[in-house]
Structure 1
Amino acid sequence: MALSQGWVKRYFKAFCKGFFVAVPVAVTFLDQVACVARVEGASMQPSLNPGGSQSSDVVLLNHWKVRNFEVQRGDIVSLVL
């Protein structure tokens, strides 16, 4: 019984350490570098979401290029209001 409790305690301790490292790294990455967004509706047809309301596309929003002013003609820009 003591052996199994020691294993659970070690596992929980390792999980907590990993969790408290992974969450801030993931939040920083999503805020500073890139995030994933879903495109729904007809606003970007026919380039994105060509099937209409039955389907949706998933896009990667690159925050890094916008922060470094590397936006070029033909790029799709997303605004948050």
Structure 2
Amino acid sequence: MAPAQGWARRYFKAFCKGFFVAVPVAVTFLDRVACVARVEGASMQPSLNPGGSQSSDVVLLNHWKVRNFEVQRGDIVSLVQTRS
């Protein structure tokens, strides 16, 4: 019984270490660098979501371009309303 408990304890300890490192890194990346968004509906047709309402596209939103004012003609910009 002791070896099984030792294995489970090591596994749980390794999982916790990885979890407490990966979650803050992932949250910081998604908040500061880039995030993934889904485009649905006809608002961006024909560039995105050409199939209409039955399909959706997934895009990567780059936060650095906007933060550094490197937006150029032809770039797609996404606006998000924040609640205050």
TM range (shorter): over 0.9
2:16 corresponding residue in structure 1: 16
Count of residues in Structure 1 that have an aligned counterpart in Structure 2? 80
Residue in structure 2 matched with residue 57 of structure 1 by the alignment: 57
Secondary structure of 1:60's aligned partner: strand
Return the TM-score normalized by structure 1.
0.96
Q: Distance in 1 between matches of 2:9 and 2:76?
A: 49
- Percent of residue pairs bearing the same amino acid type: 94
Cα distance, 1:68 vs structure 2: 1.0
- The alignment partner of 1:78 has SS state of coil
Alpha-carbon distance between aligned partners in 2 of 1:4 and 1:64, rounded to the nearest angstrom: 48
Q: What's the CA shift string for 1:40-79, capped at 9, x where partnerless?
A: 0000000000010011011000011111111111100000
In 2, the alpha carbon distance for the partners of 1:64 and 1:2 equals 52
Distance 2:32 2:23 in 1: 14
Any gaps of 5 or more consecutive residues in structure 1? Answer: none
Q: Which runs of 4+ in 1 moved over 2 A?
A: none
RMSD: 0.5
Q: 5+ residue gaps in structure 2? A: none
SS in 1 for 2:35: strand
TM norm structure 2: 0.93
